[in-house]
Structure 1
Amino acid sequence: MSKRKKIVLWFFIILIIAIAGIIAYVWFSESKNRNPFTAIPDDAVYIIETSDLTKGWSTLSDSKMWKHLCTTKHFEEISKSAASLDSIIKGNSTMDMLFSDRQMLISAHMISGNDYDFLFVVNMKQASKITFVKDYIKTIIEAFGYSMSKRNYEGTEIIELTDIKTLEVLYITFIDNLFIGTYSPILIEKSIKQKDKENWIKNTEFQAVAGEIGSKKLFNFYFNYSLVPKFMQCYLSEESDLANSLSSIIKFSAFNVNLENEQLSFSGYTNIPDSVSSYLKALSGVDPGKSDGYKIASDKSALYLSMCFEDFNEFYKNLTTAFSAENGEQYEDYNKMVKKLEKFLKVNLNNDFFGWIGNEIAFIKLRPVANSKEGDVSILINAKDIEDAKKGMEHLTSQIKKRSPLKFEAIDYKEYKINYLNIKGFFKMFFGKLFGKLEKPYFTYIDNYVVFSNSPSSLMDIIDDYLAGKTLEKNKDFVTFKENFENKSNVTIFVRTPEMYTHLYCYSNAEKRKGVHENKDLILSFSNIGFQLASDGELFKTTLIVSHNEDALYSDELEKIESAAEELYLNEYDSLKFKTKLSPEQLNKDGKLELKNDSGSLKLECNIKNGNINGLCKTFYASGNLASSVNYKEGKVIGKATFYFDSELQTVKAEMIYNDDEKIKDEYIEYYENGAKKAVIEFNDGKPNGDAFFYYDSGVIKIEGKYKDGKKEGKWKNYTEDGNLFDKAKWKKGQVRKKNIE
């Protein structure tokens, strides 16, 4: 999207300045007073409203947030234009007369499958009475390098102002007291075509929330959720289940906006459609609950979405009642399916699953790491009594095992047992599309929560961070931001932009990835976004807060460099997760053992002696490429172990040596897929001890430091990819003592 579109506001105002000298003599003549909302087409994704143009501009331009944005590359052109606008508006009595107490609307509309544009509407009141303004404009715009032409559309004149250099066209028109402009010919025509339909004025659902906030505040903001999926296609490479869910269960939000130096605060109301059964409709009749899942959620969480209720049974009853009333046949099918499942498994789902659920179900998405997949998600379900939850889940899984040909042995990971719920679509069956990606989930227990995920690696990451105290509860920045919100709510969403940026970058296509990268400083500067709903009669009281941090890019770069010490495959090898497990039958016969995949390709090749794996054991990817080459002695991993990327080139992923106690010793070396070293760490008795070096994939040093008994010790230095020192610190027993030491 052109930068010029971003600065259209200043041009509109400059365009009108020239008429200031001739406006006085018609100032008091009568003019039709059309509501500015009549000029906004009905497909607006969002609408921004200010009640006073001059005061609104002064508030925005004086804020610390705006001043930082103007230093970013993305706002470079806007900054220059803003400086011109600032000098024109501030201290100009004529401008004050023209634009004080002038209402303006800015609306965003989709103009293609992956692009949007803006429409600006200014209520000029009696100022628009001047019939010869349109002719006078031609003289003015020539000074700005524009040419002018006119055309008629359905009885309304459209003025087209063409930039002679770029050939971009600004379309403007006057409808009664309204001045309307846009860079999109589609939008100017839609505005004219729909001007007498009063779409937004007659929309009772929109007016229900808009009427609650009034129009006295300097800034108001309105959001139309039905267009969220289309709008998100501007930023995502595929459909978002969350965006689709929001569009179907929420109609509109209306907010009063408060702009502070480092924070944008939105407070208002949200409504939901009467005709759709949804989480929110079920929650609207339930008292808000308290969210505590952040106490165990990893501080690498990019998204934390929490649904809370004082009583889960009441919430679930509301949900099923609404569903049965609106989808009778489907509800009968659902009931039959549940009864069939219970009969087949010989379980009672109310006792084994629903009965122990407490007051929160939270959905989290972690910042992507080396082995992450785009669809990786985790669900935290609060338990009234964690022992009851364990009893119910153990009974459910044991019954499934009896009737499933797939045998999955629970994994013991750092004293946490990771289990497997082998029922396809279990969560989607009960909780809908939002949980659709959680097919046949793995799960474990942390504190008083049952934690589910479609990725065992995600569960391990959550366990690692919980044990290391790296949770959202221990993240000072998150806790400070969370204090802006109520303790009890029905829905709370936190987006942590630095973590979400990585997700957007990793999983967008090449074209969108370029845009995401170019705007990194801008995106990261809005470091935290929080959204909260609490039931209030037929509406939801709504809070939206956007926190700004001009140092976020530096902080994220430092965190990203330092995280290189953590974002390794080391945990997989240290925990012996890779260790081959064979059945008693397979271990019963000495000699060479080969196992194959369903496709016939080799899966495993090893030697059996005296009921144990002995010697070199190789595993293979489904592609047939070598995955690992590990030495065993009497069933124990002892000696050299080498792991490979899924490549015909057999590129080494990591290599290490295990002692007689199956612990890593000497040197642990990890590689990038291009063959360059990623990390070299000295080990002793299973713990990092001694020198540690981490590298960029270009071979340039990224971090250098030392470990002692598995913890950072002494001087650590972080470098940029061009080899310059970025940051340095002194550590003692895994804790930072001094930053930027000499």
Structure 2
Amino acid sequence: MKKILILILLLLTAIVAMAYFYFSALNADKKNSDGSLYAISQHAALVLCFQNDKSITDILGDQPILQQVLGSDKYNELKSIGNMLIQSQAAVQAVDKQNIYIGLIPEKKNLTFLYVTQINSESNLTQVISELGGKINVTLEKDRYKLNLSDTLTCYLTLRENLLFLSPSSAVLNQALSRTLEKDNPFGAYIRSTSRISKNSLAEVHINFNQLPAVLKSTMPGNLSGELAVLNHMDAYTSLIYNYSAEKLLLNGSTQVNGRDSYYALYRHVPQKVTITNILPENTANYIVYTILQYGRWREELNKWLTGTSKGKTALDLTAQISEKYHLDLEQTFPRYFTNQLITFQLSTSEKLGAIALSNGEKLGQLLLDLSAEHSDDIRIFKESDLLFSFFGEPFRNFRRPYYTIVDNYLIFANYASTVQVFLNNYRNNRLLINRPNYLAAINQLPNSSSIMFYSDLDNSSRIILRNIYLPYFKHLRQESMKDFNAFIWQMSGENGKYQTNVLMTKKAPADSLSQNSLALTP
């Protein structure tokens, strides 16, 4: 899950920044255009929509933060397309009073964009092309027009019924035109039901997690395995509204988990205050924290989830087997002394750890003596595999027989004893993330209660990101789009079966930005 959100970070911020630059010159009032909505939702994992209103495009265009996210090269490229469009009054009138939809499309080791909007019935595409042809090189290729904006920038434009399609990739256009327009696809219906585009909403971002694996595979080598494997079956949608700010990138909205068999559906409860993050080392690269309202009721749902997984069936039998083997009632261990928070986190060195909050760590430690063996004075190792997975599920799947320690009513564990020792050294010397001003400045901008929250320190995560995405994307992140940002947060809070969702990226203080940029590409 951590790697998933690190990669979404790149994709999400890039598509948000597209809003103004492609259609900056098109200014009009909103008009429903369900045809273009359903067309884009059939193809894209991430969809951006914004209202074609001058008051909105002016605000977006005045935000330097968008240029920082996008990078100077792409910014100038997109601005060229915007300038091209305003050279045709017929083009401006053709999409007058329509919404603009921009979709992120995978293409081998590349990501490209598809732009769809609905044109007015009285508009004439031939006139649009004629006007553009007087300014740029326009050629007709079968069922589309090739627009040569410069020696290195080419776009393709075509019309299907009353829908206008535009993309820098002819192959993407082929793909879009080859599919039958279905007005009942679930993602399109979701966007239609959640969209609130108005003059009070600058732009919206919609994410289809069912199609996201194909997008991620274009940015990284190999298949979605390990922590990323969950994305292969993650049936969920997210809808976010972009908020104006010169100092941060902030989106608010909601997430809908469609599959009842999803592990993340277990957290659709009232959010709880997060405090377990106070123990994290200062070199924490990322973490994901979960809160539980009432463990007993939550455990019943967890057991239902476990019965639906092959490994889960074994985990359900594990507690009975261990109880018989050690003559110990396991229900008197974690179920009795766990409070309401669990976390997995990763250090800048890639070491992975987990932790749970306890009501009485000393009592639990005594009960676990028979289930564990001593490694050192402070560290022990579980004798049996999958114990933590059987009580808490997916986050602890890869901690099969970990080493652990208990300090200040927290049980902290890792797959290597040296990793636990690193944690103890940091904790005892007060080298903690909570002491870093940048971290506090970021985390204090969101509510301190949540059901699930992901955090990434963008500097501490550099080496991890480098190992998980292709080098060109990494260079773009560190040299351009992310160089002035220090944190990324994805927060979800359960409410009425859905999740209220906040996505935040915060900027570094000027001094921090200067000191870190020289190390931006250190592998």
Contact 1:255 1:266 in 2 (8 A): yes
Alignment of 1:533 onto 2:492: yes
**CA, structure 1 residues 474+331, in 2 after alignment: closer, same or farther (shift >3 Å)?**
closer
Please name the residue that 2:5 is paired with.
none
Q: Which amino acid counterpart does residue 173 of structure 1 have in structure 2?
A: T
What secondary structure, in the 3-state scheme, does the structure 2 residue paired with 1:411 have? Answer: coil
In the TM superposition, residue 234 of structure 1 has moved relative to its aligned partner by: 3.7
**CA, structure 1 residues 258+101, in 2 after alignment: closer, same or farther (shift >3 Å)?**
farther
- Partner Cα distance (1:356, 1:493) in 2: 25
What secondary structure, in the 3-state scheme, does the structure 2 residue paired with 1:266 have? Answer: strand
TM-score, normalisation: structure 2: 0.83
Alignment of 1:65 onto 2:65: yes
Contact 1:33 1:177 in 2 (8 A): no
Instruction: Please give the per-residue CA displacement for 1:89-118, whole angstroms capped at 9, x wherever unaligned.
Output: 79x999987777541111012222x43211
Alignment of 1:354 onto 2:351: no
What secondary structure, in the 3-state scheme, does the structure 1 residue paired with 2:455 have? Answer: strand
2:516 corresponds, among 540, 556, 562, to 556
Q: Which amino acid counterpart does residue 223 of structure 1 have in structure 2?
A: I
**CA, structure 1 residues 48+313, in 2 after alignment: closer, same or farther (shift >3 Å)?**
same
- Partner Cα distance (2:161, 2:435) in 1: 57
In the TM superposition, residue 542 of structure 1 has moved relative to its aligned partner by: 1.2
Contact 2:236 2:259 in 1 (8 A): no
- Partner Cα distance (2:66, 2:150) in 1: 30
Q: Which amino acid counterpart does residue 410 of structure 1 have in structure 2?
A: H
Please name the residue that 1:421 is paired with.
382
In the TM superposition, residue 64 of structure 1 has moved relative to its aligned partner by: 3.2
Higher helix share: 2
What secondary structure, in the 3-state scheme, does the structure 2 residue paired with 1:60 have? Answer: helix
**CA, structure 1 residues 340+6, in 2 after alignment: closer, same or farther (shift >3 Å)?**
closer
- Partner Cα distance (1:241, 1:560) in 2: 27
Higher strand share: 1
Contact 1:304 1:362 in 2 (8 A): yes
Alignment of 1:311-710 (within 5 A): 311-324=294-307, 333-368=314-349, 374=350, 376-397=351-372, 401=373, 409-412=374-377, 417-505=378-466, 507-508=467-468, 512-513=470-471, 515-517=473-475, 519-522=477-480, 523-549=482-508, 551=510, 552-556=512-516
What secondary structure, in the 3-state scheme, does the structure 1 residue paired with 2:445 have? Answer: coil
Alignment of 1:148 onto 2:109: no
Please name the residue that 1:298 is paired with.
281
Work out the percentage of aligned pairs sharing the same amino acid.
13
Q: Which amino acid counterpart does residue 485 of structure 1 have in structure 2?
A: L
- Partner Cα distance (1:45, 1:262) in 2: 27
Please name the residue that 2:213 is paired with.
229
What secondary structure, in the 3-state scheme, does the structure 2 residue paired with 1:226 have? Answer: coil
- Report the number of matched residues: 502
Contact 2:494 2:500 in 1 (8 A): yes
In the TM superposition, residue 174 of structure 1 has moved relative to its aligned partner by: 1.8
Contact 2:283 2:348 in 1 (8 A): yes
Alignment of 1:265 onto 2:250: yes
Higher RCO (CA-CA < 8 Å; seq separation 6+): 2
TM-score, normalisation: structure 1: 0.60
Please name the residue that 2:100 is paired with.
104
**CA, structure 1 residues 527+101, in 2 after alignment: closer, same or farther (shift >3 Å)?**
farther
- Partner Cα distance (2:346, 2:157) in 1: 44
Contact 1:236 1:504 in 2 (8 A): no
- Partner Cα distance (1:124, 1:186) in 2: 23
What secondary structure, in the 3-state scheme, does the structure 1 residue paired with 2:383 have? Answer: coil
* Greater radius of gyration (CA): 1
In the TM superposition, residue 40 of structure 1 has moved relative to its aligned partner by: 1.3
Please name the residue that 1:139 is paired with.
133
In the TM superposition, residue 381 of structure 1 has moved relative to its aligned partner by: 0.4
1:255 corresponds, among 240, 247, 261, to 240
In the TM superposition, residue 272 of structure 1 has moved relative to its aligned partner by: 1.0
Q: Which amino acid counterpart does residue 79 of structure 2 have in structure 1?
A: A
**Structure 1: which 5+ residue stretches go unaligned?**
21-26, 152-156, 369-373, 402-408, 562-695, 698-742
What secondary structure, in the 3-state scheme, does the structure 1 residue paired with 2:379 have? Answer: strand
In the TM superposition, residue 472 of structure 1 has moved relative to its aligned partner by: 2.2
Please name the residue that 1:178 is paired with.
163
CA RMSD across the alignment: 3.9
Contact 1:277 1:319 in 2 (8 A): no
What secondary structure, in the 3-state scheme, does the structure 2 residue paired with 1:394 have? Answer: coil
- Partner Cα distance (1:559, 1:444) in 2: 34
